[in-house]
Structure 1
Amino acid sequence: MIYISCGLNQEFIIDLLEKTTEEGVSFKYEGKTGIKLAFHVNTEDLDKACAIAKKTIKATPIGSVMYFQVTTK
């Protein structure tokens, strides 16, 4: 499970990551607590999943200027 903390554009992040599969890693939205979005990933390498999520979000015009954190806790 990885977590993305972001106060704005949460639906954008959910839609983007659920459509993303990179290097065999895919994301499934599980729910949220406050501003923290939880995603199930199909890999044991959570650091790799975090890096892919961050890179994918930052590659978009909105994501490149948005403040967010990607963590494993």
Structure 2
Amino acid sequence: MKSKFLCFVLIISMMILINGVATKKIDAGVLDPCKWPGGPHPGCPDPKNKTPPGPANPYDRGCNRITLCRGG
């Protein structure tokens, strides 16, 4: 009985998927708040300023007595 019910549910779900479930890809503009109308939004770059942003975290090794580097 359980196997017949499972087969029935499987067949019905396959028929539903084949016959009309249309999928659309989500546009990148929907996910990116910087592309929403009504900007400029907080955290988005200024569209008039064309310079690339600087590094987020510039590398700095640091020097102290524990690392035994020169001059520390």
TM norm structure 2: 0.22
Name the structure with the higher helix share.
2
TM-score (normalised: structure 1): 0.22
Greater relative CO, 1 or 2 (CA 8 Å, sep 6+): 1
